Amino acid sequence: MSIRLNPDLLPELLASMQQSEQNETTATQQLSSGRTVNSPSDDPAATAAIVLNHDQSSQDAQFLQNISTLQGRFQVADSTLSNVVQVLTQAVSLGTEGATSTVSASDRQALATEVQGILTQTVALANTTYQGAYLFGGTDVNTQPFTLDDTTGAVTYNGNPNTASVELSNGNSITTNVPGDQLFQNGSGSVFGALQDLYNSLNSGNNIPTAVNEVSSALTQLGVQRVTYGNALNQINLSESFLNQDTLNLSEQENMLEGADLSTVATNFSQAQLASQATLSATSEVLSQKTLLDYLV
């Protein structure tokens, strides 16, 4: 069996040197970045998966930002309605007290004055803002929803009956508001109308039990409407948990796709250096050898 020797090793050595340098460069990039994929050509399939991963991560980040804003908005709205419930409960107590036969006319008028103060307080609560936007004006967040006529006690709604919605996740939207007229001037129980009727009844001494029942009905109706905010808070808390877990999963997936095993990369780097040095040494040997022309000179 004959053995064939390559009479011209230099091209192969140069190609080997280039490969060793490329391996060393790749290992250096991976060590500095901590990633195995630093350009699309490193791994086209992994690059495509990483792009999709980044898109989903960006969507999750936007949804989480929406949720953060909504949480504050809903918490303030729910807290405000809780305060309204408290003052309406107080109004029922005042009306019940005023309906007793032992209360004098002057005492009833004093109770009426307290109810008038509750009406003013409730209007102020209904005009609550969050981050500069009115909460209970429908989608008109820049106009004060309610105005109180101090002379007649009538309350006017200046907002609109519209609602808005925001996506919490793909295909999952939530209504972000309950219009103020639905909350405070509902046909099944008007908060402002009931308080005004109670004020008038205490002043006149007539139909006080009926007015108390009217306030109680308005209180019940407000509780029904308030559930919307409680349910919304539960829904966004669940969505937040899901999105946080999805964000964690996406991060782990990305690490699997492009994360470098630094110990392996360090070994590759050392091997590339050794290979490069060996190739340089071999090239030097080849270049130092005499050729036939050297002997003919």
Please report, as a single letter, which amino acid is at residue 73. Answer: R
- CATH code assigned at 242: 1.20.1330.10
Predicted structure pTM score? 0.68
> How many Cβ atoms from other residues are within 10 Å of residue 274's Cβ?
12
Measured distance CA(114)–CA(127) in Å, rounded: 20
Residue 267 falls within a domain, yes or no?
Answer: no
Confidence at residue 271, expressed as pLDDT on a 0 to 100 scale: 65
Predicted confidence (pLDDT) at residue 273 exceeds the cutoff of 50:
yes
Mean predicted confidence (pLDDT) in 29-38: 59
Residue 129 falls within a domain, yes or no?
Answer: yes
Residue 86 falls within a domain, yes or no?
Answer: yes
Residue 242 falls within a domain, yes or no?
Answer: yes
Residue 282 falls within a domain, yes or no?
Answer: no
Instruction: Mean pLDDT check: name the lowest of 15-19, 187-191, 227-231, 248-252.
Output: 15-19
Residue 1 falls within a domain, yes or no?
Answer: no
Residue 17 falls within a domain, yes or no?
Answer: no
Instruction: Mean pLDDT check: name the lowest of 108-117, 162-171, 286-295.
Output: 286-295
Q: Which domain holds residue 83?
A: 52-251
Confidence of residue 61 (pLDDT cuts 50, 70, 90): confident
- Domains of the chain: total: 1
Measured distance CA(246)–CA(63) in Å, rounded: 12
Residue 215 falls within a domain, yes or no?
Answer: yes
Query: Are 191 and 184 in contact, with CB atoms under 8 Å apart?
Result: yes
Query: Are 276 and 17 in contact, with CB atoms under 8 Å apart?
Result: yes
